[in-house]
Structure 1
Amino acid sequence: MDSLAGKVVLVTGASRGIGASVVRMVAERGADVVINYRSKGPRAQVVADGVLAIGRRTLLAQADITAAADVQTMVAAVAKQFGRLDRLVLNASGGLEKNKSADYAMQLNQVAQERLVEAFLPLLVDGGRIVFITSHLAHFYGQKPVYAGYETVAASKHAGEQALRSRIPALAERGISLVVVSGDLIEGTITPKLMARAQPGLIEYRREQAGALPTVEDFALAIAEACADSTLASGATVYIGSTE
């Protein structure tokens, strides 16, 4: 197990699911953790209590990452408590929610991701890393078919990934790397369930096609390892689950 001792890791969308599991795993590797959440304060507190029980420091950072003012407030809080950032895990995403504007997916999955990188650049240390979380459907967008109802999300997350990849040379000048972690449909998460509403039987079909689907723990472990593995080159993609 690679160590993150002495590192400060920020995870967006960390009050539940994959994000919450990543928080626990990086804390177990010795990191202090900034737990970003949008609205689920009690859930985020449970995650924070878990970090404290491991013996690491934590900061709860409530912020809607699509709101520039919220992001700046979060940056200021991280600067005040830790004075630095070693890993920025871009886990929060969306676009399948109801009653959102037509450009919401792009605002969240591309614009907000770039804003986070820009905002935290002054705190990211030499040797720091940005870990961008995506799906195979988004990563391979334009190369492989996309399931019904997921087109907008796939397109926007693909755009977000490409926008961050375009920054690799500039990030390298500051000693910062970018690693992408891409996953198949993840068992037990909300996105496949929402997709299955538009395409009933989708999860069962994909499970049979792939042989098995990754679990939340599988995916979170890959993300935690992407944070810790110093041998990964900038621009590397870690695949979890079948890409076929």
Structure 2
Amino acid sequence: MESLHGKVVLITGASSGIGRAAAELLSSKGAKIIVNYLSNKKGAIETVQRIQKNGGDAIIIQADVTIKEQVNAMVEQALASFGKIDILINNAAGGIRQSTFMDASEELWEETYRLNINSVLLCSQAVLTHMIPRKEGKIINISSTAARIGGAGESIHYAASKGALNTMTIGMAKELIEYGIIVNGIAPGMVETPFHEKFAPNEDRLSRMSATIPIKRVAQPIEIAETIAFLASDASNYILGEIINVSGGR
């Protein structure tokens, strides 16, 4: 097992789904975890309790990752607790709501980009302020296969934001490697999380969408977390600016 002993990891949106699975898995490999959440305090507490039950070290920090002042305060609190941040996982994201392209308002597009793009900008900049002087660190951006296929019906705004995130990830990787910081992304396909429960609540629709996946099933959060753990480890140190699809072949 590739060890992350002594590493400190900040995961945004870690109260459920992929974020929670990553928090638990990275903790099991020796990392100290900062669990960020916005509104699901109960879920964040459960994440930390599960980590602590297995002997891990984790703290909770509430912050809206679209607001610079709150992001900076979160990072300062994390540094006060653990002294450093080695790995940032930009996981917080959302589709806001479904809409056809013709019905999508400017406000919906702006809100989607604020959550899926601005949050990555703000969190990365805040953490990089401390990573760059140390000349080491890793940033992992959680994208989506929607970026490549245009979204799965009434979600072009979400898909477009994830396409922008892919481009952003590649650009960050090229610029930040000068400082010893490695940036990569992961593009999950359909994953059994609260996100897809919200946007594909109809069981028949979910079954139809699952049928389009060559492996014929949706992923479990732990299957995405395993790739996050790989990118967080030294085993991936020669991988740079990649967007790894974890999609069952979709």
TM-score > 0.5, shorter chain as reference: yes
Kindly state the Cα deviation for residue 182 of structure 1 after the two structures are TM-superposed.
1.1
Residues 43-82 of structure 1: matches in 2 within 5 Å?
Answer: 43-82=43-82
Mean Cα deviation higher: 5-14 or 15-24: 15-24
User: Residue in 2 aligned with 1:234?
Assistant: 240
Q: Residue 110 of structure 1 contacts residue 161 of structure 1 at CA under 8 Å; is this kept in 2?
A: no
In 2: Cα distance, 1:229 partner to 1:97 partner: 38
- Return the offset for 1:78: 1.2
Q: 1:93 — aligned with what?
A: 93
Moved more, 217-226 or 17-26: 217-226
Question: Whole-Å Cα distance in 1 between the matches of residues 217 and 39 of structure 2?
Answer: 33
Identity in percent: 27
Q: Is the 8 A contact 1:137 1:184 kept in 2?
A: yes
Structure 1 stretches of 5 or more lacking a match? Answer: none
1:58-207 counterparts in 2 under 5 A?
58-97=58-97, 101-102=107-108, 103-124=110-131, 125-138=134-147, 140=148, 144-187=149-192, 189-196=193-200, 201-207=204-210
Separation in structure 1 between the aligned mates of residue 35 and residue 198 of structure 2, nearest angstrom: 25
Q: 1:190-213, CA deviations, whole angstroms, 9 ceiling, x for partnerless residues? A: 33333336x884321221221222
1:93-113 per-position Cα deviation (integer Å, ceiling 9, x unaligned): 013248x94211001111111
Q: Quick check: 1:39 aligned with 2:39?
A: yes
CA distance in 2, matches of 1:202, 1:186: 14
Q: Indicate if the aligned counterparts of 1:66 and 1:112 stay in contact, CA closer than 8 A.
A: yes
Q: Provide structure 2 residue ranges, at least 5 long, that are not aligned to the other structure.
A: 99-105
How many Å apart are 1:43 and its aligned residue?
2.0
Q: What RMSD over aligned residues (CA atoms) do the two structures have, in Å?
A: 2.2
SS in 2 for 1:10: strand
Could you tell me how far apart the structure 1 residues matched to 2:111 and 2:240 are? 29
* Count of residues in Structure 1 that have an aligned counterpart in Structure 2: 238
Q: Which has the higher helix share?
A: 2
Output the amino acid matched with 2:206.
Answer: I
The list of structure 1 runs, each at least 4 consecutive aligned residues, that deviate by more than 4 angstroms after superposition, is none
Q: Note the C-alpha offset of 1:45.
A: 1.5
* Distance in 2, Cα, partners of 1:185 & 1:63: 27
Indicate the residue corresponding to 1:20 in structure 2. 20
1:130-151 CA-to-partner distances (Å, cap 9, x unmatched) read 011121112x1xxx34322111
> Take 1:90 and 1:105, find their aligned partners in 2: how far apart are those partners?
15
